[in-house]
Structure 1
Amino acid sequence: MTPAEAARAADERRKIELDVSGAEWQYAPGEEEGVQIAFVDGYIAMRNGAEPDGPALVFTPAEWRAFVLGARDGEFDLESQENQEQRGNR
């Protein structure tokens, strides 16, 4: 295993063990039941505010940055996905 692979494996183990029970969750004003995020031990956790006792997705800083940049670029927009599917059917 290369040093980079070992570092990635260690990050994955830490993510699995991350305790978010005492996290300070943040959300958009007036959107308590929407998406919530928390910064915990160098990781970013995201959960559904409508189900605060449900699971949280945990991201490394690099994963979070990729997600945010993709969202800014419209990568996850439904309209964009529909257009891509239509182009694929041609």
Structure 2
Amino acid sequence: MDELVERVDDQDRGLGMTVSRRQAVREGWLHRVAVDALYPGIGLEADNQAARERHITKHPWLHRVRLRYIWTALHVGIALTGVVLTAVIALSPAW
């Protein structure tokens, strides 16, 4: 028997479907190990939801911003700084 996983959306919210890992990988679906489906008594999904709500309350803007945008902005800022400094040095009169 193949391992069971839960299908999720891009925000890691469960879609209520438990499928085999093989099928999820083959179809290219986002998934996570369905621990709640395997061990329903431990309440992992409830803990995950409570932690997510605490995080959103504590950092209301951060859950909407994707990390890749922060890293891209950082790299673009560094590159622009290099371009500006290069232009300043190239256009400055020789000593």
Q: Assess same fold via TM > 0.5.
A: no
Higher Rg of the two aligned structures:
2
Q: What TM-score does the superposition give when structure 1 sets the normalisation length?
A: 0.30
TM-score w.r.t. the length of structure 2 is 0.29
